[in-house]
Amino acid sequence: MNTKYKSLFEPFQLNDGIELKNRIVLAPMTHFSSNTDATVSDAELEYYARRTGGVGMAVTAVAYVTKGGIGFQNQFGATGAEFTEGLRKLATTLKSNGAKAVLQIFHAGRLSPAELVNGDVAAPSAIATDRTNDGSEAPAPRELTAQEIDDIIVDFGKATANAIEAGFDGVEIHGANGYLVQQFFSPHANRREDKWGGSLEKRLTFPLAVVDEVQRAVKEHAKGPFIVGYRFSPEEPETPGITMADTLVLIDALAEKNLSYLHVSLMEYASTPRRGVDDKRSRLEIIQERVGAKVPVIGVGAVNTPEDALNVINTGAPLVALGRELIVDPDWVEKVESGRESEIDYSLTKQDQDRLVVPDPLWNSIMTMTGWFPVKDAEESSTLTK
């Protein structure tokens, strides 16, 4: 190993006492490849087996906690015992090479495709999202009732119990990327005037209630230490929307919950705030300075090279997550650890699907979504040394 990258491979202990073998995390990536009955497919197991050999922790694609919260076609669920067998196979696969296995859980809220929830798209308030793939105007969701909100919170606890039963080492609450937990915190999505919305403090109520319920389920069902992480997006592009100042209030509250870690959702780890604070440093640096002494922070976003990963660690964040790069080169971690970083692949070709063990639905998305992945013709594709 190049001693320059030694810090990436030092063990790290989370707040719950669980030790990771290194600082590298497989980021959660949607792959649209579950069985039609929302159970984990063999293609998913093969996909994960191929790219978790070296990481210290692996976070799955997100599972929905209630049928009304489905977010994607061919997404797996964690809503009951019928999913346990597949989830157990997934946990076993992730842990087979020493990684800690974490099940990400969510409710999609107003981002649920209507056709997947029988047309019943529900959210904190009847406010349509601005986030549509084709630029079209999204229909307004209906507003959740107080009873439905209570039920969804309970469903997060049930999903956590399912994860424990299936043998996962932890769960990650998906409070990012515009889904329901974030919607309750967002002044754009949440226009309620009851205990669940209004002031900034009231918009914290749902996210913190979900954390409390998940931790209650852990206390009741887990027989030992169990990871509870929380992922969040620091800002929203909408107006009104979450600002960096709002996020500092959120993470201050989360830091008091004795979470295992906070996982920042960023497109670019070095990106800077757009509004809310007068600070030219990266969002990641600001977040790490604010709460890093209380809760470990995972940095992510356009981490392609070992140098990028090192830059994240050098901000003070103890953990770094890789997503697309572990699809492009599943052996990224092993290559860096064995001093072969010059052999890392930074692009793929149309002929690479079988070699990379990528399920058909994800592969089709990679091939059709221009700019999402670095796709080159076979003759021009070569290993890029950085």
Question: Would you please indicate which residues are annotated as catalytic (active-site) residues?
Answer: 179
Dig out the tokens for 137 from the structure.
Answer: 């105007």
The beta strand positions in the chain, using DSSP E, are 12-13, 19-20, 24-26, 57-59, 63-64, 100-106, 122-123, 142-143, 170-175, 227-232, 261-264, 297-299, 319-322
**Whose structure tokens read 């995390």?**
25
Rounded to whole angstroms, the maximal C-alpha distance in the chain is 60
The beta strand positions in 278-358, using DSSP E, are 297-299, 319-322
Dig out the tokens for 2 from the structure.
Answer: 């190049």
Nearest Cα to Cα of residue 285 among 310, 263, 314:
314
CB 50 within 8 A of CB 20: no
The string of DSSP letters for 204-257 reads THHHHHHHHHHHHHHHHH-SS--EEEEEE-S--SSSS---HHHHHHHHHHHHTT
